[in-house]
Amino acid sequence: MVLAAKSITLFIVAGLLEIGGGYLVWRWWRSGAPLLVGMVGAAALVSYGIVPTYQPAHFGRVYAAYGGWFVVLSLLWGWAVDNTPPDRFDIIGGAICLAGVGVIMYWPR
């Protein structure tokens, strides 16, 4: 259980770094934010590339499972930052994605 909690925490941290970094680069490139905003975003994206290396599984499994977390975290980011709440289909889709994560990462083998 501790291993799963650590793994989930790593997925969430990676997701926040990727989505947050991408958002900051977007703000710099598309919305005219200062270059420093884009540089912080780029640093977050590099950090995102490092965090998943601490996962206990192999690359393919980690990145496949991360895709499910990315979907859910993106919806939550849109709700928190863009004030766009997920609708019932977003919630259903996110739940399906997390179920897939559970099978890929944590199902006994």
pTM of the entire structure? Answer: 0.89
pLDDT (average), residues 44-71: 96
The 10s digit of each residue's pLDDT in 85-107 is 999 999 999 999 999 999 999 99
pLDDT score of 4 more than 80: yes
Helices first, then strands: H and E counts in the chain: 4, 0
- CA dist 42 and 5 (Å) reads 27
pLDDT score of 2 more than 90: no
